[in-house]
Amino acid sequence: MIEQPAGTPAAAPQFGSDVVAQTLRSLQIPYITLNPGASFRGLHDSLVNFLGNRDPQLLLCLHEEHAVAIAHGYAKVTGRPLAVAVHSNVGLFHATMAIFNAWCDRMPVVIIGATGPVDATRRRPWIDWIHTARDQGAIVRSYVKWDDQPASPAAARESLLRAMWHAETAPRGPVYVNLDAHMQEAPLDAPLPPVNTTRYLPVASAAPDAGRIREAAALLRSAQHPLLLIGRVSRSAAAWDARVALAEALGADVVTDLKVGAAFPTDHPLHVDAPGILLSATAAKAIAGADVILSLDWVDLAGTLHTACGGEPAATVIQVSLDHVLHNGWSMDHQAHPPVDVFIAAEPDAVVPPLQQAIGAANAPRALAQRDRSFAPAPSANGELSTDDLALALRAALGDRRVSLAHLPLSWNGACWPFRHPLDFLGSDGGGGIGAGPGIAVGAALALRGTDVLPVAICGDGDFLMGATALWTAVHYRIPVLIVVANNRSFYNDEVHQERMARARGRPVENKWIGQRMSDPDIDLAGIGRAQGAQGFGPVATGDDLATALAAAVGVVTEGGVAVVDVRVQPGYTPSMMGVAAAASGRRG
Ligand SMILES: Cc1ncc(C[n+]2csc(CCOP(=O)(O)OP(=O)(O)O)c2C)c(N)n1
Ligand SMILES: [Mg+2]
């Protein structure tokens, strides 16, 4: 769905914001998500009346947090940024949690903000002063890769080129460019000289050091129990195949998790345990037993090794990562500093093929372990559905359809759903900010629109409710997506915390639900979907109703619609979902 502007778009840039719009087009950014604001009314006019609302097309969002989350979801699929426009100060304030999520997830997003005129004499009384801050970028500077406030159209063009380059260059992340309202609205003194965009977006190749590759190859070749921790990697199918080939050549155990997108077939004999957000006891045991560990940009290498080994690991550790480039003094999302014996400063995708080549075929393939992958959820005592029941019913409803899981709830059990392709799962929200699920799902669905891959998000009810109005954007712009809500009518994660507190302090555990449960009244989640033009199903509480509702919902999405299914599930996380670290410390979420 494209909203077609009346009239003929202007032929040449006439105002500062026309130059900004033209630059966005030259960057081949297909969409700009936004919630409108007077601080960027100049740019808004240029996008509609100079560019004709295409390349980029405006995607209206009902909240700035959704605007960024949609770009975040799009980047998870494509690796490429969208633009996001947010109003001065307040729009940026609304966007912050989603920017933090994208930052922690290392996903590129080009965020464009605006300020009232920096020249105070040009400010309209009252409102332009509210729109202006001494250093607006300070709101987000600690969790964007780069930010700027250019003072002229020429500087804005350069700033956007640099912003795009930083966003797309590994390690990737969100960037922020703040546009002066007067600069946007003022007529151009003279046309700007043309610019060859591609010259300002050079590929910054971070080729791995050949000596380090040889060193790592020798260590892995002579390892008795090599193990791969596979973390942040791309959605490339070729890179996926290369990782499988490497693991098979080494006979290495493989561990992946649900913090990041699918990275290895989770039902492969070398994959030691179903992935979780946290480390399972089985995965921890395999890590503790390894003699050489290859981390492919694993999120929280230090914490994982410490948890698994009870201290510094005896194993030799090879780390492949560029993440250190992003670390700053404000955000501790870089995690603890890991002990590393061989450090390869490069992206994993660039390291696996030369590493494989250096290891060569000399290593006789080890016999693959036989692992029991059969899984049947424990039936609930009271006949209520569990999140496991939901997962298995959803798999059954989807049959052999190609599916991308764009979001999963905290109660997800990785054993319910094997990942066999990089798009099978797109990873978590990055920063732990709930409310991201619906927006990320819509963004992923936008990227997958027109393909044979059906986007599906399973959201907790708390997550869904905080992000629910992202669905309107999907309905309005005809972006097919299926949202299934694992509705335990609670911010249940925190019931678990209150239970732990009560136990630790010898206080009544039965009070854990207070300040957590979302019942009386129960919220009509399907109705929230319907109110925005989606098809709503449920609440469903039995296996039969669930199968019927899911079949209908899959049908809706196959026909190009948006569907929400409210599934009443019993609250509860199994020990495998809690992870060994959580079990030990009681900390999660
Ligand atoms: C923005 C935000 N607020 C609060 C939290 C703390 N928190 C972590 S998980 C959680 C509960 C999420 O509820 P839901 O999505 O329904 O999942 P459930 O725990 O019930 O499975 C909360 C409140 C958070 N992570 N992010
Ligand atoms: Mg819940």
Average of pLDDT values for 457-464?
A: 98
Ligand at shortest distance from the CA of 460: 1
Q: Structure pTM?
A: 0.97
Tokens of 13: 């840039």
Residue-wise pLDDT for 268-292, tens only, equals 999 999 999 999 999 999 999 999 9
Question: Is any atom of ligand 1 closer than 6 Å to the C-beta of 460?
Answer: yes
Q: What is the DSSP string of 61-83?
A: -SSHHHHHHHHHHHHHHHS-PPE
d(CA 491, ligand 2 centre) in Å? 4
Q: How far is the CA of 516 from the centre of ligand 1 (A)?
A: 10
Q: Which amino acid is at 60?
A: L
Q: What is the pLDDT of the chain when averaged over all its residues?
A: 94
For ligand 1, whether the C-beta of 101 sits within 6 Å is no
Distance from residue 429's CA to the centre of ligand 1 (Å): 12
CA 342 to ligand 1 center in whole angstroms: 38
Condensed to tens digits (0 to 9), the pLDDT of residues 20-75 reads 999 999 999 999 999 999 999 999 999 999 999 999 999 999 999 999 999 999 99
Residue 362's pLDDT band (cuts 50, 70, 90): low
pLDDT at residue 9, as a whole number: 83
How far apart are alpha carbons 48 and 158 in whole angstroms?
A: 22
pLDDT of the residue at 211: 97
CA-to-CA separations, 444 to 53, 347, 414, 447, 474, in angstroms, rounded: 21, 23, 20, 5, 11
Whether ligand 1 lies within 6 angstroms of the CB of 491 is answered as yes
pLDDT score recorded for residue 577: 58
Please give the share of the chain, as a percent, with pLDDT higher than 70. 94
Which tokens in the block code for residue 548? 């019927």
CA distance 152 to 320: 41
Place of tokens 């609440």: 539
Is 584's pLDDT higher than 60? no
- With 70 as the cut, is the pLDDT of residue 364 above it? no
* Residue with tokens 């196959």, as numbered in its chain: 558
pLDDT at position 421 is 98
How remote is the C-alpha of 434 from its chain's centroid?
12
Whether residue 367 has pLDDT greater than 80: no
pLDDT category, 368, cuts 50, 70, 90? low
- Which tokens is 460 given? 């907790």
* Mean pLDDT confidence for 536-550: 97
What pLDDT band is residue 572 in, cutting at 50, 70 and 90?
confident
Which among 387, 388, 434, 496 is the best mutation to test ligand 1's pocket, defined by most ligand atoms within 8 Å of the CB?
434
**How far out from the chain centre does Cα 18 lie?**
31
pLDDT at residue 583 tops 70: no
Q: Contact at 8 Å (CB) between 423 and 468?
A: no
Q: Is 151 helix (H, G, I), strand (E, B) or coil?
A: coil
CA distance 363 to 534: 55
What is the best residue among 63, 104, 491 to mutate for testing ligand 1's pocket, by most ligand atoms within 8 Å of CB?
Answer: 491
| CA gap 70, 53 in Å, rounded | 18
Question: 391-405 burial string, b = 16+ CB within 10 Å, else e?
Answer: bbbbeebbeeeebbb
pLDDT, tens digit, 9 for 90 and up, residues 188-247: 999 999 999 999 999 998 789 999 999 999 999 999 999 999 999 999 999 999 999 999
Check if 431 has its Cβ closer than 6 Å to any atom of ligand 1. no
The residue whose CA has the least distance to atom 11 of ligand 1 is 491
Q: Which residue has the higher pLDDT, 204 or 372?
A: 204
Which ligand 1 atom is nearest residue 463's CA? 15
Closest CA to 440 of 85, 107, 9, 89: 107
For the Cβ of 589 lying below 6 angstroms from any atom of ligand 1, the answer is yes
The whole-number pLDDT of residue 366 equals 64
- CA 23, 24, 28 angle in degrees (round to 5)? 110
Asked if the model's pLDDT at residue 585 lies above 60, the reply is no
Q: Report which of 323, 315, 310 is spatially closest to residue 289, judged by C-alpha positions.
A: 315
Q: Is the pLDDT of residue 575 over 60?
A: no
Average pLDDT over residues 338-355: 98
The reported pLDDT for the residue numbered 10 is: 83
| Integer CA distances (angstroms), 442 to 47, 343, 437, 492, 547, in order | 22, 37, 9, 24, 24
Q: Name the pLDDT band for 589 (thresholds 50, 70, 90).
A: low
Please report the atom of ligand 1 found closest to the CA of residue 461: 16
Radius of gyration of the chain (CA): 25
Q: Which atom of ligand 1 is nearest to the CA of 488?
A: 20
pLDDT tens, position by position, 107-158: 999 999 999 999 999 999 999 999 999 999 999 999 999 999 999 999 999 9
- Is 492 touching ligand 1 by the criterion CB < 6 Å? yes
Tokens 């969002």, residue located: 61
Confidence of residue 8 (pLDDT cuts 50, 70, 90): confident
Angstrom distance (rounded) from CA 557 to CA 11: 40
Task: Report pLDDT digits (tens) over 166-186.
Answer: 999 999 999 999 999 999 999
CA 487 vs CA 429, 444, 464: distances in Å: 19, 22, 9
Check pocket membership of 410 for ligand 1, CB cut-off 6 A. Answer: yes
Q: Which atom of ligand 1 is nearest to the CA of 437?
A: 15
For residue 86, what are the CA distances in angstroms to 52, 67, 73, 182, 436? 20, 8, 18, 16, 17
Reference 76, options 111, 101, 113; nearest CA is: 101
Pick the ligand that lies closest to the CA of residue 496. 1
- What does DSSP say about strands 402-407 and 253-255: parallel, antiparallel, or unpaired? unpaired
Nearest CA to ligand 1 atom 23: 491
Would you say the CB of residue 430 lies under 6 angstroms from ligand 1?
no
Nearest CA to ligand 1 atom 18: 492
The pLDDT assigned to 290 comes to 98
* Ligand 2 center–CA 460 separation, angstroms: 5
Identify the burial level of 24 via C-beta atoms within 10 angstroms of its C-beta, where 0-12 means exposed, 13-18 middle and 19 or more buried.
buried
Distances (CA, A) of 62 to 426, 476, 533: 24, 11, 14
What distance in Å separates the CA atoms of residue 410 and residue 493, rounded to the nearest whole number?
8
Instruction: Decide whether any atom of ligand 1 lies within 6 Å of the 463 Cβ.
Output: yes
